[in-house]
Amino acid sequence: MYTVVEENYLKALSTLANTGDEVSINDLSKRLKIKMPTVNSMMKRFAEKELITYESYKPVRLTAKGKKEAAMVIRKHRLTEMFLVEKMDFNWEEVHEIAEQIEHIKSPLFFEKMDALLGYPKFDPHGSPIPDKNGNVIATAYVPLSQCSVQEEVTLKAVSDSSEAFLRFLNGRSILLGDQLRVLAKEQFDGSMQVEVAGKSTEMFSQLICDKLMVQKI
Amino acid sequence: MYTVVEENYLKALSTLANTGDEVSINDLSKRLKIKMPTVNSMMKRFAEKELITYESYKPVRLTAKGKKEAAMVIRKHRLTEMFLVEKMDFNWEEVHEIAEQIEHIKSPLFFEKMDALLGYPKFDPHGSPIPDKNGNVIATAYVPLSQCSVQEEVTLKAVSDSSEAFLRFLNGRSILLGDQLRVLAKEQFDGSMQVEVAGKSTEMFSQLICDKLMVQKI
DNA sequence: AGCTATTGTTAGAGTTGTCTAACAATATAT
DNA sequence: ATATATTGTTAGACAACTCTAACAATAGCT
Ligand SMILES: [Mn+2]
Ligand SMILES: [Mn+2]
Ligand SMILES: [Mn+2]
Ligand SMILES: [Mn+2]
């Protein structure tokens, strides 16, 4: 059984490992908002527990065991978010912070019940895939909208930022997962885009926004 | 905001204060399964925070503030138990341990949603009253079955032990809250009782059991 | 290649919450 | 009333997790 703190480190490691497997102490430190020396000593303890491989002055790397444990925490987080939205009438912008806490509840039965009541969902309310009980995740081929070219038509499938602030921004423009997006124009200078949303409205998005909108080409 | 540990101490203090207001360090220590010196130093910190009044070598006493804070934790615990039973298909013997964890979730909205979805329940699945948002609790006049005399007819209103083991004992005999109980005989030597349950079966209960069955005289 | 900025490490300290061992005060029993 | 048992306190230690200050290694830049 892992502590709350360990579980949060595991989750951060897994998220940051997405491209390339390697995670620098510095990135971890920034993501967790915990100072580097603290992260460094925790990584040594993680190496002891065989959750990562660690060599001085090199980025760390989750072991198979570490990946599995991280997936289990992510599974609990995403199941919780889905439960809060589907069964407790929460809005998608309200659930991340609560799930951040409930993901640490020690009760396999509790999460099994959630899973069953939800009908074994495959995605959370932000479009991220929910790992199965073995830690396997459905592969998705989403790319950020910022990587799309002019005139491309895509479907909004997920958001890579579940913060209340960002989701309120989308709510304010009635933008939902599943919406069809068409890139009308792209400003080379700052990466901002003019986008037609669901055939209805037209929006200007800064690059920061476009990086957070994960889409699938049609 | 209080820590998980502080909240657990508060809850234990409140439970033990039920008769007489005073709580000994020793009783707290036993209830929490934490050694006396640890409890002692925590009580000094509680006194600093004005949650209790503390004088050397005397039992401690919750302040008004301490009582209020304890009631809020108890409220969250009992709402959670009710939610688990009513909305997540748990049995009454499965919920206490999970509620012991969820009661510490930091999100007023989460518990408000629970309360609303449940229709503002007044009692938890074990018959204990749920404090309201101001910390007020419905007064109940339940007594343990062990205090009843022969031929008395009473209604089972609550259990004072929510452990899985005890509730399984009741499940095995199909005993439910609301059942009518009639005392057929009482053994002076060991305090055991012969009881007719809901006009159907007849059971022998040891004093240990009779102490845990909280009843209301008809 | 050599300077500089960034990243990583070591050392030392603080807080929270736990323990054991030893001692002190209070309560209980003869 | 005195001895004994119980309860409470002090002292000192330890694990987990955090920090700052100082230093070392690596990477990036002329
Ligand atoms: Mn989330
Ligand atoms: Mn978390
Ligand atoms: Mn309970
Ligand atoms: Mn608890």
Confirm or reject contact between B89 and chain A (CB < 8 A): yes
How close, in Å, is residue B67 to chain A by CA atoms?
25
Q: What is the pLDDT of residues B110-164, one digit of tens each?
A: 999 999 999 999 999 999 999 999 999 999 999 999 999 999 999 999 999 999 9
Answer whether B105 sits within 8 Å of A107, measured CB to CB: no
C-alpha dist (Å) from residue A197 to A85, A159, A162, A215, A217 = 24, 15, 20, 12, 14
Answer whether A113 sits within 8 Å of B87, measured CB to CB: no
Q: What is the pLDDT of residues B8-43, one digit of tens each?
A: 999 999 999 977 799 999 999 999 999 999 999 999
> What CATH number does the domain containing B199 carry?
2.30.30.90
In a domain, B68, yes or no: no
Q: Which of B47, B52, B54, B10 is nearest to B28 (CA)?
A: B10
In a domain, A67, yes or no: no
- Mean pLDDT for back-to-back runs of 10 residues, chain A (218 residues): 97 91 97 98 97 97 97 98 98 98 98 98 98 95 95 97 97 97 93 93 96 95
In a domain, B115, yes or no: yes
Q: Which helix (H) or strand (E) holds B181?
A: strand B180-186
In a domain, B67, yes or no: no
Tell me, rounded to whole angstroms, the distance of Cα B137 from its chain centroid: 13
Q: Among B114, B139, B164, which residue terminates a domain?
A: B139
| Residue closest to sugar C1' of D10 by CA | B37
Q: Which of A145, A157, A164, A153 is nearest to A212 (CA)?
A: A145
* Same domain (yes/no): B158, B209: yes
In chain A, the number of structural domains is 3
Query: Integer distance in angstroms from CA B54 to C1' C19?
Result: 23
In a domain, A68, yes or no: no
Q: What is the pLDDT of residues A12-23, one digit of tens each?
A: 999 999 777 999
Range of B55's domain? 4-62
Looking at residue B201, its pLDDT comes to: 93
Q: Give pTM, 2 decimals.
A: 0.95
b/e for B115-149, b at 16 or more Cβ within 10 A? bebeeebebbbbbbbbbeeeeeeeeeebeebbebe
CB-nearest to B107 from A98, A106, A117 is A98
* CA A100 to ligand 1 center in whole angstroms: 7
